[in-house]
Amino acid sequence: TGRMKNNQKAISKAMALGFSTDEFQIVMNVDAYDKLTHSFGVKLIVAGVEVAPLSVNETVDPIKPTRSTIIANFHLGAPTTSVRALVNGNTPSVINVPFIQDFQLNAF
């Protein structure tokens, strides 16, 4: 059996891109989510260093208000050929826990 906690942390495996770039975007859909109660933060990990996004946009789904899309944009300043994604989530309750429905990392 598993028990929910009030914090979540997910780190992806290193992804070899096959090309070099400094521009990335994370698109993440979260469900059972209330932005007044819950929070999610996303970062990239490049060469062992956590990189915060330059911008984050959160949009509530008009059909299902408990679902939101979070889009984070990154510009590293120097190109890389490998990256990891990091997601941190928090909730004040172990009963009311949001979850990541799907996750997409784009490299441009």
Residue 2 — pLDDT band, cuts 50, 70, 90? low
Residue 105 — pLDDT band, cuts 50, 70, 90? very high
Mean pLDDT across the stretch 17-45? Answer: 95
Whether the CB-CB separation of 81 and 22 falls below 8 Å is answered with no
pLDDT of 5 reads 83
Cα distance between residue 95 and residue 2, in whole Å: 13
Q: What's the pTM?
A: 0.90
| One-letter identity of residue 12 | S
Cα distance between residue 44 and residue 53, in whole Å: 8
In the chain, DSSP finds a helix count (H) and a strand count (E) of 0, 7
Whether the CB-CB separation of 79 and 24 falls below 8 Å is answered with no
Mean pLDDT across the stretch 35-55? Answer: 95
Task: Check whether 96 has a pLDDT greater than 60.
Answer: yes
pLDDT of 15 reads 96
Task: Check whether 30 has a pLDDT greater than 70.
Answer: yes
Give the ranges where the chain is alpha helix by DSSP (H).
none
Task: Check whether 22 has a pLDDT greater than 60.
Answer: yes
Q: Which domains does the chain have, with CATH numbers?
A: 7-107 (2.60.120)
Residue 1 — pLDDT band, cuts 50, 70, 90? low
Cα distance between residue 48 and residue 12, in whole Å: 13
